[in-house]
Amino acid sequence: MQFKQQSIRFLAGCLALSLVACGGGGGDDSAATPEGEGSEGAAETTTDGGVSGDVLVDGSSTVFPISEAMAEEFMKANSGSRVTVGVSGSGGGFKKFCVGETDVSNASRPIKQSEIDICAENGIDFVELPVAFDGLSVVVSTENEWAACLKPEELGKMWEPGAEGAINNWNQVRPDFPDTELSLYGPGTDSGTYDYFTDATTGEEGESRGDYTASEDDNVIVQGVTSDSGGLGFFGFAYYAENKDKLKVVEIENSDGECIAPAEETIADGTYNPLARPIFIYVSTKSLEEKPAVKAFIEFHLAEANEGLISEVGYVPLPKDLSPKATERFNSATPGSIFEGGSSVGVKLSDKL
């Protein structure tokens, strides 16, 4: 009896101790950050930048590095503010955004009609802002000497649903290509990158052959193509930029019939088409009106002075003719989507904004 009671007491003591230790740890840590980013007092009193309050960002993993960079610098400038960024995918982000759970939704594709409807049902108006460009890069092994420039139709021929089990050799893509086995690598079917690529090459968004190596982690695609002399894969420009020495990038024939390789300039000036795509943030109009921190964060996001942050994390800032238009769209709080629920393939932003 006594033994038992003692051991129960002992157990309870252990639990209580670990709780106290944890709570104490948390307190110490927030006290140790002199900027007071974590402490409650700082959230209420305004310091330096003068803006305080919470900004909730969620959505696409493609846009995440940009949000992270912006949030980091924004909080350095406004130590009373707290920006959090989640990653639940473009679609997952809109699910939260359209019921009013987040202030800003990141997306690597325009909002879909079904999502616009849900937003409307819940009375959520939004401002759609392109924030940067990404160039989907098509890569092959460094041993591949034949694929220098490919047409979007040729990519379509490799990737379309009908190619499954049928197109397995490079010489089926173009007769003067050598007799080498073709193997394909790409992002999983849930990703916005996949949606855009299939739309731009096969003409059907989200439709492709099923027998390719799919991975949610683009680094796996890098490894796959590096070690496969007949491999071909695609992913965002940042992954190519980091692996230039391991991979060979394929030039893509654009609408003017020129062969263009993805690079900061060609992505920004629109010559790298159709594989350069805009990426977006969607801002809740209600949050803009009610939360000064959200407004300040978006202004910070769009400011020309912070363009460096976008290129630093591997994306291409909006070109000079577009960024004032995006800012204007934000200042006038223009609601709705310029794509009206459709895709962004073949849409010239400068005409629509």
Partner 1 sequence: MANLASDPSRSPLGGGSKGRFKSELSKRYRIDSLFSAAAWTAVTLLVLVLALLIGDVLVDGAARLSWDFLTSFPSRKAEEAGLLSALVGTIWVMVIVAVVSFPLGVGAGIYLEEFAEDSWFARAIEININNLAGVPSIIYGLLGLQVFVRWMEPITGGRSILSGALTLALLILPVVIVATRESLRAVPDSLRQAGFALGATRWQVVCNQVLPLALPGILTGTILALSRAIGETAPLITIGALTFISFLPEDLQSPFTVLPIQVFNWISRPQEAFHTNSAAGIIVLLGVLLLMNSSAVLLRNYLQKRH
CB 220 within 8 A of CB 235: no
Site string for partner 1, 34-63 (x = CB under 8 A): ---xx-x--------------------x--
User: For the chain, first and last CA: distance in Å?
Assistant: 78
Where do we find the tokens 């088409």? 273
Distance CA 6, CA 170 (A): 75
List, as one string, the DSSP characters of 96-136. HHTTTS-SEEEESSPPPHHHHHHHHHTT--EEEEEEEEEE-
Question: Can you tell me which of 47, 88, 229, 343 binds partner 1, judged by CB under 8 A?
Answer: 88
The CB-based long-range contact list for 149-154 (8 Å cut-off, 24+ gap) reads 149/250, 149/251, 149/252, 149/253, 149/259, 150/250, 150/251, 150/252, 150/253, 151/252, 151/253, 152/200, 152/201, 152/252, 152/253, 152/274, 152/275, 153/201
Residue 65 binding partner 1, by CB under 8 A: yes
Contacts of 255 (CB under 8 A, 6+ apart): 273, 274
**Stretch binding partner 1 (CB under 8 A), from 85-93, 118-126, 161-169, 173-181:** 85-93
The dihedral through the CA atoms of 13, 14, 15, 19 has a sign that is positive
Spatial CB neighbours of 264, under 8 Å, sequence gap ≥ 6: 311, 316
Strand duo 104-107 + 52-59: pairing? parallel
Q: How far apart are CA 72 and CA 54, in angstroms?
A: 13
Q: Which residues have C-beta within 8 Å of that of residue 2, sequence separation ≥ 6? A: none
Contact (CB, 8 A) for 279 and 315: yes
Instruction: Provide the minimum distance between the beta carbon of 275 and partner 1 in the complex, in angstroms, as a whole number.
Output: 17
Options 125, 207, 242, 299; binder of partner 1; rule CB under 8 A: 242
Minimum separation from the CB atom of position 225 to partner 1 (A): 14
Which segment (159-167, 295-303, 306-314, 324-332) binds partner 1 by CB under 8 A? Answer: 306-314
Contact with partner 1 (CB under 8 A): which of 9, 24, 26, 331? 26
Span from 81-89, 161-169, 177-185, 300-308 in contact with partner 1 (CB under 8 A): 81-89
Q: Does the footprint of partner 1 cover residue 15 (CB under 8 A)?
A: yes
Shortest Å distance, C-beta 51 to partner 1: 15
136: contact with partner 1 by CB under 8 A: no
Q: Which stretch binds partner 1 (CB under 8 A): 3-11, 105-113, 144-152, 175-183?
A: 3-11
Is 82 or 295 the residue whose CB approaches partner 1 more closely?
82
| Contact call for residue 303 and partner 1 (CB under 8 A) | no
Total binding residues toward partner 1, as defined by CB under 8 A = 52
Q: Which stretch binds partner 1 (CB under 8 A): 67-75, 103-111, 178-186, 194-202?
A: 67-75
The residue (of 36 and 270) whose beta carbon lies closer to partner 1 is 36
* Interacting residues toward partner 1 by CB under 8 A: 1, 3-4, 6-7, 10-11, 14-15, 18-19, 22, 25-26, 29-30, 32, 37-38, 40, 61, 64-65, 67-69, 71-72, 75, 82-88, 96, 101, 216-219, 236, 238-239, 241-243, 309, 312-314
